[in-house]
Amino acid sequence: MKTLITGASGFVGSAVLRVLLKKGFQIRSLLRSSSNSENLSGLNVEIVHGDLRDPASLDNALKGCDSLFHVAADYRLWAKNTNEIYQSNVDGTINIMRAAQRQKISKIVYTSSVATLGINRDETPADENTPVTFSDMIGDYKKSKFLAEEKVK
């Protein structure tokens, strides 16, 4: 099974990548040309260059894949141009999901963020089912991940 991983050069993505390699997956990693690929050094990974904001590069990256692990995110708590965060996290997620549909990808694993969880007023632990609204999101990163998650649902 050939799998495309977005965000494999990052902290969470590189951990997912290593687990999948141990399980015998053939891995293709989508990297921006500006990405640091140090976390992929020495690993049996096919690297393709592209950008979540460029739909054509996503179709190319997904060709021949059976599954997608979308782990990439623009994780900044502040940006001079906050639109960049939304373009990567919301528009980029929409783009990769549409490309996966066009390429008939049979399995998709989407990684959101703990930042999108609601908070229980009784201080019990929260999970994906804890009610939360957009107005609960503070900051552009959280807002963008909330919006992206809503699009994936």
Active-site positions read 141
Q: Which two tokens stand for residue 15?
A: 């951990």
**Alpha helix (H) ranges present in 53-118?**
55-62, 83-86, 92-102
User: What angle do helix axes 55-62 and 92-102 make, rounded to 10 degrees?
Assistant: 40
Which residue matches tokens 């399995």?
107
